Structure 1
Amino acid sequence: MSTSTFNRRWAAVILEALTRHGVRHVCIAPGSRSTPLTLAAAENGAFICHTHFDERGLGHLALGLAKSGGEPVAVIVTSGTAAANLYPSLIEAGLTGERLILLTADRPPELIDCGANQAIRQTGMYASHPSQTLSLPRPTPDIPARWLVSTIDSAMGQLRAGGLHINCPFAEPLYGEPDASGLPWQQALGDWWQEDTPWLREEQELGCARQRDWFFWRQKRGVVVAGRLSAREGEQVAAWAKTLGWPLIGDVLSQTGQPLPCADLWLGNARAVTELNEAQVIIQFGASLTGKRLLQWQATCHPQEYWLVDNLEGRLDPAAHRGRRLVAEVADWLEMHPAEKRAPWAQSLAPLSEQARARVGQMTETFGEAQVASRLPQLLPHQGQLFLGNSLVVRLVDALAQMPAGYPVYSNRGASGIDGLLSTAAGVQRAVARPTLAVVGDLSALYDLNSLALLRQCPAPFVLLVVNNNGGQIFSLLPTPVNERERFYCMPQNVDFSHGAAMFGLNYQAPQSWEELTAVMDNAWRTPGATVVELKVEETAGTRTLQQLLAQVSHL
């Protein structure tokens, strides 16, 4: 029996089983111990294989592919700290629901805890963060292939959201020309190899019963809060709320069109809060709210009931409201709970929102973070998509811009970290091949700088807009100690991203005005490949503008 050949057959069953559950993209990092998995993926014509030399970026590439593609994505890495580098993307997927299958190659048991090279304790290494974990045995013909395939099928059938960690130990030798070793073991699966269905089907239907008293609640004064939604869901929620006559407060990720724009400004106005507090029921669709004022109001409101509808399990309500947690697909829930045409009740919110929007248009910052954030919809590519990073700019966009309804917007707002943002954006584009605008801060870009390598292979125009305010200026909005703020919080790096773009052979532009920026963007959407656009802005101008606008709108 050839160990290297049987390793390959074992891995081939694992990878083929994944194809039966919608896995089409496989992200692979270089490594020796993972050779059986890598070669099995390469030989399977159902897969599109992506590579990256950095496992942390690779995990986030897979995360982005899963975000926009909507299907589970597999990741293959070698043993040791390579597997540990997948932790951030796994954590994010667990919070936002993307399905990642982490195939971590491992040393066999006899090489663990004995001083062997590149051997760490990988079994259970991700603790509670995967939705499920499989620790496979070392490949052996003593275990039937039907056990292996049904084990994979069972885990995939139960994976509704988050990560599945499959730890795969392989003994050496790992290399060698394949022979007939283990062929009867593999052929025992019969015509399964020629079919396209799982060996074992486990149905885990997601459903939510219709609320029997909905006819009663839809006649009350209600408010709709929209968090992270898909483009289709955002449009449906907006239409549903409009029919009911309920005000809709839409997050930048809601894709509802934000019918009451600049909510994070006007929610600082006492008149608005007073009127919203008249609501008898609040229904929130989707989690992950961005705006600080929205979160503050959400935490302090006291309706008779607070309902939260999302397809992810868990409470998802840090304010612990009295009400209902409804686990369901948003579109299905809306169909089961039709709106009844009613006149709008919160009449003062629309004029207040319009006044806040007008103040944004009058702001004195001529060319900087705040202006770019408020005008961001004008920079979006036609039939494209937007990825927003977790820096000051996402809060400025949420507070100052009105995003178009149904326009795809993605982010990593689960754990809200700045790691892996460039690689996630690259994955978001690769899954659907749409023109893509990604907006991140300078520290975020530095944190994932080597993932600029992924932008050398763009299936459509891609613009990475780096807003360089020389550090983490979001800390200027917080009561951080002034004397220590620069050294320990903002950490200015005084960098120029032209060098990073040149290192990876990417187009680079540094416009100095709004007119130059629009011209650069228009040209970039007509140019194949990626363009890095760096906006060097005054360090604290964006935070000052936001604080000034908040003060003005609070007194309207």
Structure 2
Amino acid sequence: MSVSSFNRRWAAVILEALTRHGVRHICIAPGSRSTPLTLAAAENRAFIHHTHFDERGLGHLALGLAKASNAPVAVIVTSGTAVANLYPALIEAGLTGEKLVLLTADRPPELIDCGANQAIRQPGIFASHPSDTLSLPRPTRDIPARWLVSTVDNALSALRAGALHINCPFAEPLYGEMDDADLDWQQALGDWWRSDKPWLKTPVELSSPKQRDWFFWRQKRGVVVAGRMSAAEGKLAAEWAQTLGWPLIGDVLSQTGQPLPCADLWLGNAKATTELQEAQIVIQLGASLTGKRLLQWQASCTPEEYWLVDTQEGRLDPAHHRGRRLISNVANWLEQHPAEKRAPWATAIPGLSHQAWQLTAERSEAFGEAQLAHHIRRYLPEQGQLFVGNSLVVRLIDALSRLPAGYPVFSNRGASGIDGLISTAAGVQRANARPTLAIVGDLSALYDLNALALLRQTSAPFVLMVVNNNGGQIFSLLPTPQSERERFYLMPQNVQFEHAAAMFSLRYQRPESWAELETALNAAWSKPRTTLIEVVVNDSDGAQMLQNLLAQVSHL
């Protein structure tokens, strides 16, 4: 028996099983031990192949693909620390619900814990973070192909959200021509190879039933909190809340159009929070909230019931309200629970929101970070999408901007790390080929600089906007000790990104005015290529403007 040939046949069964569960995108890093998986993936025409030399970025590329395609995405890496580099993306997927299938090649058992090169203990390496783990045995004819395919099918059928880790040990030799010695083992699956259905179907559906007392609650004073949801759901949620006459507090990722903009400002006003105390029910559509004042109000509000609707299982309410945890697609839930036309009950909040917006607009002429956040709507590409990084800019956009209803917005707001943001944005763009504006801070860009390699070829215009405030200025919003803030928190790097763009053959612009920014963007949206636009701003101006506006709005 040719070991290399049988390894390939074993891997081919695994990869073909993935296609039966909707996996189309597969992300591959270079490696020797993963050769059986890589070659099996390369031969399978059902896959769209993506490659990257950096496994940490590769995991986030897959995460972005899964976000935008709403389908599971597979990743292939070799053994050793290559596996560990997938951890950040796996954690994020577990918190935000994207489906990843991580195929990690491994040394066979006899090479573990004996000093063999590149051999680490990989089973269980991700602890409790994957949704499920599957540690396969070394490929052998003694195990029938139907065991392998049904085992993979069973694990994939149970994957509702997060990552499935499949650890795949392979013995050497890993290279060699295919032979026919083990063809009968593979062909024992018969006409399964010519079908498009799983070998083992295990339907798993989990959804909360219609709330029979909804007709009673919809007549009460309610508040809608809109968290992360799809663009289509965001529009539906906004219309639903408007019909009910309930105030809607929209997160930057809600895509509701934020009918009451600047919520993170007006929620700091006592008149607003006093009026919100009159709410008898709060319904949160989608998890993962960004604004600090929104999170503070969410933690302190005491309605009669708090309902949280999201596709993910588990407790998603850090304030542990009394109420209902409803597992459902937001659009389906809204259809099951129609709104009844009622007059708005909150009278103070709309006025406070309007005043906060006007105050923000009056201070938005200067060329700066907070002003960019306020104006961001005018810079979005038509029929495009926005990816927002996890730095000060996401909070400024959430607090000071008003995004169009139904305009797609993506971010990594699960663990809210700065690792892999450019890679994730690249994956989002590859999944749907839309013109994409991605905004990150300078430290985030430095952290994922390797990902610029992923942007060298794009199927639609891609703008990576790096807001360079020389360090982690988000810490200026926190009570970090002034004497140690710069050295241990802000960590200014005093870098610019022109040479980074040149290293990866990307176009580069550094506008210094609104007119120059508009000129740079107009050129960038004209062709399917990547442009890195660096917006250099004064260090603490963005944080300072937000704090000043908070103080002003609190006294309205």
- 1:103 corresponds to: 103
- 1:425 corresponds to: 425
Q: Deviations over 1:286-345 (max 9, x none)?
A: 111000000000000000010000000111011111111111111111111111111110
Match runs of 1:275-354 below 5 Å: 275-354=275-354
Deviation at 1:519, TM superposition (A): 1.1
- 1:382 corresponds to: 382
Q: How far apart, in 1, do the equivalents of 2:458 and 2:314 lie?
A: 36
- Checking the alignment, whether the CA contact within 8 Å between 1:252 and 1:398 is kept in structure 2 is yes
Q: How far apart, in 1, do the equivalents of 2:378 and 2:332 lie?
A: 33
- 1:84 corresponds to: 84
AA at the equivalent of 1:202: T
Q: How far apart, in 2, do the equivalents of 1:15 and 1:408 lie?
A: 31
- 2:440 corresponds to: 440
Identity %: 76
Q: How far apart, in 2, do the equivalents of 1:365 and 1:137 lie?
A: 63
User: 4+ residue stretches of structure 1 with deviation over 6 A?
Assistant: none
- Checking the alignment, whether the CA contact within 8 Å between 1:131 and 1:161 is kept in structure 2 is yes
- Checking the alignment, whether the CA contact within 8 Å between 1:365 and 1:545 is kept in structure 2 is no
Match runs of 1:56-95 below 5 Å: 56-95=56-95
Is 1:247 aligned with 2:233?
no
- 1:541 corresponds to: 541
Query: Which residues of structure 2 form unaligned runs of 5+?
Result: none
Q: How far apart, in 2, do the equivalents of 1:275 and 1:160 lie?
A: 39
Q: How far apart, in 2, do the equivalents of 1:497 and 1:344 lie?
A: 49
Question: SS where residue 398 of structure 1 aligns?
Answer: helix
Q: How far apart, in 1, do the equivalents of 2:408 and 2:202 lie?
A: 32
Match runs of 1:89-488 below 5 Å: 89-363=89-363, 366-488=366-488
Q: How far apart, in 2, do the equivalents of 1:61 and 1:518 lie?
A: 29
Q: How far apart, in 1, do the equivalents of 2:300 and 2:320 lie?
A: 10
Question: SS where residue 253 of structure 2 aligns?
Answer: coil
AA at the equivalent of 1:164: L
Q: How far apart, in 2, do the equivalents of 1:181 and 1:554 lie?
A: 77
- Checking the alignment, whether the CA contact within 8 Å between 2:364 and 2:374 is kept in structure 1 is no
AA at the equivalent of 2:286: G
Deviation at 1:365, TM superposition (A): 6.0
Q: How far apart, in 2, do the equivalents of 1:321 and 1:296 lie?
A: 13
Q: TM-score, normalised by structure 2?
A: 0.99
Call closer, same or farther: CA 1:225–1:364 in 2, change over 3 Å: closer
- 2:33 corresponds to: 33
Deviation at 1:243, TM superposition (A): 0.8
Q: How far apart, in 2, do the equivalents of 1:432 and 1:41 lie?
A: 21
Deviation at 1:522, TM superposition (A): 1.2
- Checking the alignment, whether the CA contact within 8 Å between 1:365 and 1:541 is kept in structure 2 is no
Match runs of 1:41-60 below 5 Å: 41-60=41-60
Question: SS where residue 258 of structure 2 aligns?
Answer: coil
Deviation at 1:375, TM superposition (A): 0.3
Q: How far apart, in 2, do the equivalents of 1:332 and 1:207 lie?
A: 10
AA at the equivalent of 2:456: R
AA at the equivalent of 2:20: R
Q: How far apart, in 2, do the equivalents of 1:467 and 1:207 lie?
A: 41
Q: How far apart, in 2, do the equivalents of 1:321 and 1:365 lie?
A: 42
- Checking the alignment, whether the CA contact within 8 Å between 2:368 and 2:538 is kept in structure 1 is yes
Q: How far apart, in 1, do the equivalents of 2:212 and 2:192 lie?
A: 45
AA at the equivalent of 2:493: Q
Deviation at 1:528, TM superposition (A): 2.3
Question: SS where residue 12 of structure 2 aligns?
Answer: helix
Is 1:24 aligned with 2:18?
no
Deviation at 1:362, TM superposition (A): 0.8
- Checking the alignment, whether the CA contact within 8 Å between 2:311 and 2:330 is kept in structure 1 is yes
- 2:520 corresponds to: 520
Q: Deviations over 1:45-76 (max 9, x none)?
A: 00011000000000000000000011100000
Question: SS where residue 543 of structure 2 aligns?
Answer: helix
Q: Deviations over 1:492-526 (max 9, x none)?
A: 00001001000000000000001110111111000
Q: Deviations over 1:357-413 (max 9, x none)?
A: 000011166001011000001000000000000000000000000000000000000
Q: How far apart, in 2, do the equivalents of 1:402 and 1:450 lie?
A: 32
- Checking the alignment, whether the CA contact within 8 Å between 2:244 and 2:341 is kept in structure 1 is yes
AA at the equivalent of 1:258: Q
AA at the equivalent of 2:497: F
Q: How far apart, in 2, do the equivalents of 1:260 and 1:364 lie?
A: 19
Q: How far apart, in 2, do the equivalents of 1:499 and 1:519 lie?
A: 21
AA at the equivalent of 2:529: G
Question: SS where residue 375 of structure 1 aligns?
Answer: helix
AA at the equivalent of 1:333: W
- 1:500 corresponds to: 500
- 2:9 corresponds to: 9
Q: Deviations over 1:407-444 (max 9, x none)?
A: 00000000000000000000000000000000000000
CA RMSD of aligned residues (A): 0.6
Question: SS where residue 163 of structure 2 aligns?
Answer: strand
AA at the equivalent of 2:538: E
Per mean C-alpha deviation after superposition, the further-off stretch among 65-74 and 523-532 is 523-532
Q: How far apart, in 2, do the equivalents of 1:111 and 1:409 lie?
A: 46
Q: How far apart, in 1, do the equivalents of 2:181 and 2:277 lie?
A: 72
Q: How far apart, in 2, do the equivalents of 1:364 and 1:302 lie?
A: 36
- Checking the alignment, whether the CA contact within 8 Å between 1:206 and 1:329 is kept in structure 2 is no
AA at the equivalent of 2:433: A
AA at the equivalent of 2:95: L
Q: Deviations over 1:49-105 (max 9, x none)?
A: 100000000000000000001110000000000000000000000000000000000
Per mean C-alpha deviation after superposition, the further-off stretch among 488-497 and 520-529 is 520-529
Query: Which residues of structure 1 form unaligned runs of 5+?
Result: none
- Checking the alignment, whether the CA contact within 8 Å between 2:364 and 2:371 is kept in structure 1 is no
- Total equivalences in the alignment: 556
Per mean C-alpha deviation after superposition, the further-off stretch among 518-527 and 404-413 is 518-527
Deviation at 1:457, TM superposition (A): 1.6
Question: SS where residue 30 of structure 2 aligns?
Answer: coil
Question: SS where residue 387 of structure 2 aligns?
Answer: strand
AA at the equivalent of 2:183: L
Q: How far apart, in 2, do the equivalents of 1:263 and 1:107 lie?
A: 53
AA at the equivalent of 1:13: V
